[in-house]
Amino acid sequence: NAGVTQTPKFQVLKTGQSMTLQCAQDMNHNSMYWYRQDPGMGLRLIYYSASEGTTDKGEVPNGYNVSRLNKREFSLRLESAAPSQTSVYFCASSGGVVTGELFFGEGSRLTVL
């Protein structure tokens, strides 16, 4: 069972470079999310998509853009990476937010030099 798949798992960028984190889920979920995890700060929501065709800002959206390509895929783009974006990024999906059960990918560790 694949669940939620993120790529790449590791990436090193230089300041100012751009990159896209890819996420795909095979559970036919409507809602998808991007979180970042930083030491001592837990998970903070970057963007989410409640359904195909919609996206909304979360707690820390600055410096990021997202695309809900179809029901399965939700990508996160850094247009001009900054050292403050060094973090572990998690994609998650949910069949219904009321249940509170999110299914997470394994994470993508990004380092910006």
Q: Where along the sequence are the contacts to another protein (CB under 8 A)?
A: 4, 31, 33, 35, 40-45, 48, 50, 56, 58, 90, 92, 97-98, 100-107
Residue 15 CB, nearest approach to another protein (Å): 27
Residue 80 CB, nearest approach to another protein (Å): 26
Residues near 81 by Cβ (< 8 Å), separated by ≥ 6?
13, 14, 15, 16, 17, 18, 19, 110, 112
Q: Which is nearer to another protein, 17 or 72 (CB)?
A: 72
Q: Which is nearer to another protein, 80 or 84 (CB)?
A: 84
Q: Which is nearer to another protein, 67 or 103 (CB)?
A: 103
Residue 46 CB, nearest approach to another protein (Å): 10
- Distance separating alpha carbons of residues 70 and 88, to the nearest angstrom: 24
User: Mapping DSSP to helix (H, G, I), strand (E, B) and coil, where does residue 84 land?
Assistant: helix
Q: Are 107 and 88 in contact (CB under 8 A)?
A: yes
- Distance separating alpha carbons of residues 10 and 110, to the nearest angstrom: 6
Residue 18 CB, nearest approach to another protein (Å): 25
